[in-house]
Structure 1
């Protein structure tokens, strides 16, 4: 069986829309090939709308849900006309997360999949998280199914995006959880320097670690909780940003980078991981990678650019393929839901 799917991913860091067209083939195991992939940066106006969507009224949010869906459809249509793929069986869209409060049984990813279908004329699968949350799960992380079936040669897979999340096998079960915020904090801090991100971690490298703040960060209750667990922007607004009082921004960057490295290496060392595949934009933060390497013997594997940047979009495409085949695409061992299931609304 061979299927061609496009995966769409908009992360919390808001650097743009990731689009990945991949070919999936199932023989004894699943294999994949990324055919085309690119990130389409958001125009300033749309970026601001998405960034502030958490503060919109219900009416404004429904309007953006529809508007963003049509934007996704138009953007994919442009991608298709640019690359002229021979075949596309489906589009799988993650949408853009506005709210994520699984303890209250809701999560919201905007970008109406029906609008994408109207624009492209292709089958669309969307809203992958809600079903899991209704079933008592965290609705996250979802990529472990791809780690299990596409990247099983590594002890673990770590994504350094808006948040850092890890997926690994313990006692023959694939578990996954968020470790700590990453770019959602670092990118916000560097806005003071009129930058979108801290290139290579150069600004953080100039700062001095504030030990008192580091202790406060490491003492946050989330880090003592057992998995499954996940983070959202609401958690950062309540728990992290209020701690950043009267401290120079470069020192905040240095301290928070140290905090991320400590939390990640702690997980590596506790689970005696031999090697870990690193992906996501944070992989380009050389200072952060150096910090993690200095605290663990785990081998850090940094793959080719397409995997670093598009692994999540690739796996959402794969989740769409599994959903089309009515196969399991969400692992209860990763999310904490009542059982494994096949999730996603088909438009």
Structure 2
């Protein structure tokens, strides 16, 4: 099928759109891509809505903004069989109230005239899972597509960072030993928020600010005892869960604060790596964090295998998650699992998502 995947992540900068040709098991071809930025008004509305749940007042406008941005992204593509629509995460409490991705896929299908698969996470949470991360099943297909023959790690550094340890020798992504996946900790979110406060900057371009500072180890001293770090995977977190560290660097210089927050992201990855069944032979990094030279250098210093952007394997690090939701949409349509005990902690493999037709 020719499928368009749509992803708006925790960085809340806009909509990634990517076409994938796939049967939900193998990647046949990568198609065109596009990015539709959120307007300043959209971003402000989304930030104000963080932490809110279905039924809370004032969310109709936010939902309409999210859906409108995604409809505009779809309009740039032709010949689509299906759309995978992630929506925008506003709140995530898998052990509490559940998970909330705003965006009505049924209305989007009616507006776009294409079948839409959406609400990918709710069924996993209802089955005892974390609802995240969902990209690992796509990572398994990618490991096969690039010809990997030994375990490797896909590290996504978006607003939140998540990792997939993949053994491509396994029979399928839901097979025992095929995958270990979890959110490691903050990705770029805290660093972005800090630099927005200090300099009005959207992010640390090329890692220039963090690279000019000194890491303050006393801020990170308690990290191994953080409740999230001490939890065994599968596990997932909300964008706000590590905000205490943002408070802890507010008394530092901009450069030292940025360096310390970058080191926090890397330290969380290093703490998470001890849960892998065996060391990966390669780290492939996607998401905006792969462009932060300071982050990448810190990662290389904390691992015992090559650390490279996914482009080194011929992949598109900006569009990987959008492609993933195209891949998962076909799996939902076919009734194939999209998550498993080893990726989200669900009791059994789950095919999570709703299908809405125009």
TM over 0.5: yes
Equivalent of residue 141 in structure 1, options 129, 133, 136: 133
Do the aligned partners of 2:42 and 2:65 also contact (CA within 8 Å) in 1?
Answer: no
Aligned ranges 1:57-72 → 2 under 5 Å: 58-72=56-70
Deviation at 1:318, TM superposition (A): 0.3
Per-residue CA shift, 1:26-58, capped at 9, x if unaligned?
7xx612322111221111000111111126681
Do the aligned partners of 1:218 and 1:259 also contact (CA within 8 Å) in 2?
Answer: no
Aligned to 1:167: 164
Asked if residue 45 in structure 1 is aligned to residue 28 in structure 2, the reply is no
My pick for the range that moved more, 242-251 or 108-117, is 242-251
CA distance in 1, matches of 2:335, 2:303: 40
Do the aligned partners of 1:207 and 1:253 also contact (CA within 8 Å) in 2?
Answer: yes
Deviation at 1:225, TM superposition (A): 1.3
Aligned to 1:320: 329
Per-residue CA shift, 1:238-283, capped at 9, x if unaligned?
x333323422222111112122223323444764221122111100
Aligned to 1:193: 199
Q: Which runs of 5+ in 2 are unaligned?
A: 168-175
Aligned ranges 1:204-215 → 2 under 5 Å: 204-215=210-221
Aligned ranges 1:1-347 → 2 under 5 Å: 3-25=1-23, 30-54=26-50, 58-77=56-75, 79-80=76-77, 85=78, 87-152=79-144, 153=148, 155-169=152-166, 172-191=177-196, 192-237=198-243, 239-268=244-273, 271-304=278-311, 307-347=316-356
Change (3 A) 1:67 1:16: closer
Per-residue CA shift, 1:117-143, capped at 9, x if unaligned?
122100001010011111111000001
Q: Tell me the TM-score normalized by structure 2.
A: 0.88
Do the aligned partners of 2:219 and 2:245 also contact (CA within 8 Å) in 1?
Answer: no
CA distance in 2, matches of 1:71, 1:210: 40
Secondary structure of the residue aligned to 1:59 is: coil
Q: CA RMSD in A?
A: 2.0
Do the aligned partners of 1:74 and 1:119 also contact (CA within 8 Å) in 2?
Answer: no
CA distance in 2, matches of 1:99, 1:327: 26
Secondary structure of the residue aligned to 1:88 is: coil
Deviation at 1:182, TM superposition (A): 1.5
Q: Which runs of 5+ in 1 are unaligned?
A: none
Deviation at 1:306, TM superposition (A): 5.6
Secondary structure of the residue aligned to 1:308 is: coil
Change (3 A) 1:290 1:111: same
CA distance in 2, matches of 1:55, 1:179: 20
Aligned length: 336
Deviation at 1:111, TM superposition (A): 1.1
CA distance in 1, matches of 2:261, 2:57: 37
Structure showing the higher helix proportion among its residues? 1
CA distance in 2, matches of 1:229, 1:99: 15
Per-residue CA shift, 1:86-142, capped at 9, x if unaligned?
x21100011000010001141000111122112210000101001111111100000
CA distance in 1, matches of 2:28, 2:269: 28
CA distance in 2, matches of 1:285, 1:324: 37
Secondary structure of the residue aligned to 1:14 is: coil
